[in-house]
Amino acid sequence: MSTQMQLAREGKITDVMRQVAAEEQIEAEVLRDRVARGTVAIPANIHHTNLKARGVGEGLRIKVNANIGTSSTYPDIEPELEKLDEAVRCGADAVMDLSTGSNIDVSRQKIIEHSPIMVGTVPLYQATVRAIREHGAVVEMTEEDILQTIEKQAKDGADFMTLHCGVTREAIERMRRQGRIMDIVSRGGSFIAGWMLHNERENPLYEHYDDILDICEKYDVTISLGDGMRPGCTADATDRGQLTELITLGELVDRAWRRGVQVMVEGPGHVPYDQIEANMKLEKRICRNAPFYVLGPLVTDVAPGYDHITAAIGGTLAAVSGADFLCYVTPAEHLALPTIEDVHTGVITSRIAAHAADLVRGIPGAREWDRRMAEARKQLDWEAQLSLAIDPELAETKRGARNKKGEEACSMCGDYCAVKIISKYFDKPVCPCDD
């Protein structure tokens, strides 16, 4: 079985490529060339049979991911399936199953079976849970535990996997010598760093990268190279640990492409606004324009409860500057497991950031959407305005709560609606003799 990248390099346009090209309103041959070069990835595991594939990368619409999954505190999978449905309904392009509850295999299998959009996983989460249950501690995890987990999740149909292959001993030591406030905030990064420091060994994900490529090639799993050294506060952004990991990830991109395995690169979490553009350009340069997947970035640390907004501020600039895939941040970030309402808010907020960037990047259909809304507002066509809204239900609720049914203007302006007033003058036919 060949990967999408391998087939693209052979000059073949697959059904998956045609599907993505049609959605993106671009020529299939253009897409094939980008997949062949690696600047576009199409995460589409051969065992995810009900998937409507999406492309991520050069010249494509910015994609949005929603994180879901069970925890040891909330192990029931049914609420997570409801969150999946809500994420799909709100327009998410992917979900990541971050389950750490009591039956991770069942959770993942149900999510993949239920999901028409891309599903990502973090195998290290399951491998560490398994190590604790079977060996009594994370640091007793074996290479076999990790590789078996990756193989199992690939066989189940995971479309992309976050793998923290770039957390090397060199990166950790450089981070420690420079000093950080938050050290390592990536859960997967902390697991593997703790294992490395305890066992005084190199990262097994790095050492067994060729074995991982074997698995991903077999099932056409897209590797999402995790940013285990990402900054957890703005003061730690763009430091030596983060950049050392990024250089390693660039080398791992090359190795994956040589095998015909699709790859994305994950980017930083907390970054001051004035450093975001530089971070995006560094990634694109070092990783040869591989698709870039970012969490946020969050532009300040002081807004718990509003971090969907801090992430949208950073995400917009990140996407304008080169990022291709935004992982949503919900109002519950840093506080709690998100509710279904948090999922709704997180997806919509990230989609707003993504669309704002699509406008700047000239993505087909983006400006047309805004223009249709402007024309509907000019005509005071409320039915069209509500249908064009990125969150039609919320818009309709707000409209209905403070306006009489059938009211032409809105209760903000009432009789003094600027659009209505000026239309009396601007919409008059112009006399030819006025020229």
The DSSP element (H or E) to which 68 belongs, if any, is strand 63-68
C-alpha distances in Å from residue 241, one per residue of 46, 169, 298:
36, 10, 19
Same domain, 318 and 375: no
Asked if residue 392 lies in contact with residue 89, where contact means CB atoms within 8 angstroms, the answer is no
Q: Examine residue 140 and state whether it is found in any structural domain, yes or no.
A: yes
The reply, when asked if residue 187 is annotated as ligand binding, is yes
Q: Which domain-ending residue is among 315, 345, 361? A: 361
pLDDT for 78: 96
CATH number for 32: 3.20.20.540
Same domain, 303 and 376: no
pLDDT in tens, 388-406: 999 999 999 999 998 888 7
SS (H, E, C) 253-309: HHHHHHCCCCEEEEECCECCHHHHHHHHHHHHHHCCCCCEEEECCECCCCCCCCHHH
Asked if residue 34 lies in contact with residue 26, where contact means CB atoms within 8 angstroms, the answer is no
Same domain, 181 and 218: yes
The reply, when asked if residue 288 is annotated as ligand binding, is no
The reply, when asked if residue 230 is annotated as ligand binding, is yes
Q: Examine residue 86 and state whether it is found in any structural domain, yes or no.
A: yes
pLDDT for 196: 97
Q: Is 99 helix (H, G, I), strand (E, B) or coil?
A: coil
The reply, when asked if residue 327 is annotated as ligand binding, is no
The reply, when asked if residue 67 is annotated as ligand binding, is yes
The reply, when asked if residue 241 is annotated as ligand binding, is no
Per the DSSP assignment, residues forming a β-bridge with 222 are 160
Same domain, 264 and 395: no
Q: Which domain-ending residue is among 361, 385, 417? A: 361
Q: Examine residue 435 and state whether it is found in any structural domain, yes or no.
A: no
The reply, when asked if residue 143 is annotated as ligand binding, is no
Low-confidence stretches of the chain (pLDDT < 50) are: none
Q: Examine residue 434 and state whether it is found in any structural domain, yes or no.
A: no
The reply, when asked if residue 65 is annotated as ligand binding, is no
Rounded-to-integer distance, Cα 130 and Cα 433, Å: 84
Q: Examine residue 337 and state whether it is found in any structural domain, yes or no.
A: yes
Same domain, 371 and 343: no
Q: Examine residue 172 and state whether it is found in any structural domain, yes or no.
A: yes
The reply, when asked if residue 334 is annotated as ligand binding, is yes
Same domain, 296 and 163: yes
Query: Residue 90 — left, alpha, or beta (φ > 0 → left; ψ -120 to 50 → alpha)?
Result: alpha
Same domain, 382 and 286: no
Q: Is 191 helix (H, G, I), strand (E, B) or coil?
A: helix
How deeply is 69 buried, as exposed, middle or buried, from its count of CB atoms within 10 A (0-12, 13-18, 19+)?
buried
pLDDT for 435: 53
C-alpha distances in Å from residue 406, one per residue of 380, 400, 415:
11, 10, 14
Same domain, 419 and 286: no
Write out the residue range of the structural domain in which residue 303 sits: 4-361
The reply, when asked if residue 96 is annotated as ligand binding, is yes
Q: Examine residue 386 and state whether it is found in any structural domain, yes or no.
A: yes
Asked if residue 292 lies in contact with residue 33, where contact means CB atoms within 8 angstroms, the answer is no
Same domain, 332 and 408: no
Same domain, 323 and 373: no
Q: Which domain-ending residue is among 327, 361, 395? A: 361
The reply, when asked if residue 186 is annotated as ligand binding, is yes
Q: How many CB atoms lie within 10 A of CB 246?
A: 25
Same domain, 65 and 102: yes
Q: Examine residue 153 and state whether it is found in any structural domain, yes or no.
A: yes
SS (H, E, C) 33-67: HHHHHCCEECCCCCCCCCCCCCCEECCCCCEEEEE
| Listed residue (21, 103, 115) closest to 60, CA to CA | 21
Same domain, 191 and 324: yes
What is the distance between the terminal CA atoms of the chain, rounded to a whole angstrom? 69
The DSSP element (H or E) to which 29 belongs, if any, is helix 28-37
pLDDT for 36: 98
**Count of domains in the chain?**
2
